[in-house]
Chain A
């Protein structure tokens, strides 16, 4: 391998046969390039979807009522279901041992908030302290609403980052008073949400205050629940699915809804969705691998083809060399050495280009479903090695045949 003379021979051959070398290299480099980019995009899609699920607690079960669609026990369809505080309390009583965190919300859309001369229209959500974890929001300053606020129906408010920017500009909002429909609330905290601007243009107040101040009675609009974690992802999914089912039955019986009426109670089980998405993602990844491997196979076939042509083209030269005393092994070594050298260099070039593309263009991709496309470097290196080996094996047989051609026949080849 480190025979300087053979390296010289190879460099000379490559220099004198630029097109041939270029074509071999191109098929290898493009194969690697396509594979790495595909794997990168696959990984990016996975990251993108994983990020989507980061917005809320990843094992969140989310309940919102709708309108009945079936007649049941003498009640007409088209009845709007409204949950009450009592539903929430019963829920705690019945399922308390399984529940990790829970919160109900009473929400009012499009309330006008006024601070000094600034005003704007935002969603106002009455909720519980646990809402913070359930919505996966974090505070940038101040505190979240606490149990005291809830117990005393304090007029305290936590505002989203967008709301802070709109109403307060650069001012520190903590301790300032904001008016909502003529009621003054004291800002106690500012939050940020990975879900983005839409989720940051809301304010959160104690549910007790919301129900009193905005005529909610004991109404609860939504329920947020997380369960105590299980040992494995699959066990968590199973527990969560089971819980959703029981919760559905519980709410339907409380509100006299037909058990098969799917429009009256909506239960969104994030974990179940996540599992579905991750299964889908695994399929997509598998598909990308499939495509990538096919690309590699195409690359190997391309390399073999070119090797065949090279050997064919060099038959006469091989005959001359043999007549001058080249041994069969030296012919095989010469051809293989060249092909391995070319495929290796081209493979690494393809790898470098594709990694550079992922590195520099990847972060610029601004779609929701592709995020931070990267590729496992070991995997990439392995593919290059596999391609080089495959190219060598593919090149070996024509080389072997060439080495066995009788020089007299090779010399006759015009």
Chain B
């Protein structure tokens, strides 16, 4: 599903240049639930941004579902993001003046779906994350866990190949974190590929494989026995 080889990325900070990713090689198969770990500054967010086509690598190749991601125009990048990827952010990133339902329907708007169909599909995803009753509420009327579940529904709405979650539990308490992880595990059980960036070990243990990043290189890539989140709630 994801093939990455020799990925380099550096940022210019005035006169200096900060080499963040120093040759990353790894691949993700379809249906994997993978966590990328590392302390802050290890380059894990940069890697996720590149995977999410929010940022571009300086060097190396990135192939997503057989499509090489290289030198994309803004327009193409937008199209691929919409088609291939679903994002889950630490700070939820819901649009404040839109209801939960409208937030979920937004990627479908950019897919060009008719309004009726958008709403039907958005509603079915809200049901899936258990928030059908909250469809008409604005994000600030929801709890943190509810917001993140709306964000997950939104990420799923466009039926992407890969879900990218950047610290999805970073802003949540333990109990809510585990509930969200449970949802993510459920979605993975249905066969969807999911990448989770986290620095929490308990969260990483709930995935099936941990890639450990340090100073821009992968120092460890291990398959772990998944801890089901539900057992710990």
> A323 near B81 (CB under 8 angstroms)?
yes
Residues of B in contact with A, size category: 20 to 34
Question: With A16-B97, A324-B82 in contact, is A330–B52 under 8 Å at CB?
Answer: no
CB distance from B90 to the nearest CB of A (A): 10
Interface segment out of the listed B103-111, B142-150, B182-190, B224-232: B103-111
Among residues 320 to 335 in chain A, which have CB atoms less than 8 Å away from a CB atom of chain B?
Answer: 320-330
Most buried by B among A321, A324, A326: A324
> B97 near A13 (CB under 8 angstroms)?
yes
Question: With A320-B95, A411-B93 in contact, is A325–B111 under 8 Å at CB?
Answer: yes
CB distance from A167 to the nearest CB of B (A): 78
CB distance from A381 to the nearest CB of B (A): 33
Most buried by B among A316, A317, A323, A327: A323
Whether B12 is near chain A, meaning CB under 8 Å from some CB there, is: no
| A325 and B52 alpha carbons, distance in the complex (Å) | 11
| A317 and B98 alpha carbons, distance in the complex (Å) | 11
Contact of A324 among B75, B102, B106 (CB under 8 A): B106
> B115 near A8 (CB under 8 angstroms)?
yes
* Chain A residues in 8 Å Cβ range of B52: 323
> B55 near A326 (CB under 8 angstroms)?
no
CB distance from B116 to the nearest CB of A (A): 11
Considering only CB atoms, which chain B residue lies closest to A407 in the complex?
A: B54
> B158 near A406 (CB under 8 angstroms)?
no
* Chain A residues in 8 Å Cβ range of B98: 12, 16
> B154 near A406 (CB under 8 angstroms)?
no
- Contact pattern, A 222-259, Cβ under 8 Å of B = 1, otherwise 0: 00000000000000000000000000000000000000
Whether A408 is near chain B, meaning CB under 8 Å from some CB there, is: yes
| A316 and B91 alpha carbons, distance in the complex (Å) | 11
CB distance from B48 to the nearest CB of A (A): 10
Question: With A320-B95, A330-B110, A408-B55 in contact, is A325–B83 under 8 Å at CB?
Answer: yes
Which B residues are within 8 Å of any A CB, using their own CB?
49, 52, 54-55, 74-75, 78-79, 81-83, 87, 89, 93-98, 102, 106-107, 109-111, 115, 154, 158
CB distance from A76 to the nearest CB of B (A): 92
* Chain A residues in 8 Å Cβ range of B158: 324-325
Contact of A317 among B95, B109, B111, B154 (CB under 8 A): B95
Considering only CB atoms, which chain A residue lies closest to B111 in the complex?
A: A325
> A321 near B106 (CB under 8 angstroms)?
yes
> A325 near B93 (CB under 8 angstroms)?
no
Considering only CB atoms, which chain B residue lies closest to A317 in the complex?
A: B95
Most buried by B among A9, A17, A322, A329: A322
- Contact pattern, A 307-346, Cβ under 8 Å of B = 1, otherwise 0: 0000000001101111111111110000000000000000
Question: With A5-B115, A12-B98 in contact, is A326–B78 under 8 Å at CB?
Answer: yes
| A328 and B110 alpha carbons, distance in the complex (Å) | 12
CB distance from A322 to the nearest CB of B (A): 6
| A311 and B124 alpha carbons, distance in the complex (Å) | 33
Whether A285 is near chain B, meaning CB under 8 Å from some CB there, is: no
Residues of A in contact with B, size category: 20 to 34
* Chain A residues in 8 Å Cβ range of B74: 327-328, 403-404
> A329 near B82 (CB under 8 angstroms)?
no
A–B complex contacts, Cβ < 8 Å, 28 sampled: A5-B109, A8-B115, A9-B109, A12-B102, A16-B98, A317-B95, A320-B94, A320-B95, A321-B110, A322-B81, A323-B81, A324-B82, A324-B158, A325-B81, A325-B110, A325-B111, A325-B158, A326-B78, A326-B110, A327-B75, A327-B110, A328-B78, A403-B74, A404-B74, A408-B49, A408-B54, A408-B55, A411-B54
> B49 near A324 (CB under 8 angstroms)?
no
> B87 near A12 (CB under 8 angstroms)?
no
| A320 and B74 alpha carbons, distance in the complex (Å) | 15
* Chain A residues in 8 Å Cβ range of B79: 325, 327
Among residues 1 to 60 in chain A, which have CB atoms less than 8 Å away from a CB atom of chain B?
Answer: 4-5, 8-9, 12-13, 16-17
* Chain B residues in 8 Å Cβ range of A316: 93
* Chain A residues in 8 Å Cβ range of B89: 411
CB distance from B213 to the nearest CB of A (A): 18
* Chain A residues in 8 Å Cβ range of B107: 324-325
Question: With A5-B109, A406-B54 in contact, is A322–B97 under 8 Å at CB?
Answer: no
> B78 near A322 (CB under 8 angstroms)?
yes
CB distance from B138 to the nearest CB of A (A): 9
| A328 and B91 alpha carbons, distance in the complex (Å) | 23
CB distance from B101 to the nearest CB of A (A): 12
> B115 near A324 (CB under 8 angstroms)?
no
> A17 near B83 (CB under 8 angstroms)?
no
| A388 and B136 alpha carbons, distance in the complex (Å) | 35
Given contacts A12-B102, A16-B98, A324-B81, 11 further A-B contacts (CB under 8 A): A323-B81, A323-B87, A323-B93, A324-B87, A324-B110, A325-B107, A325-B110, A328-B75, A403-B74, A408-B49, A408-B54
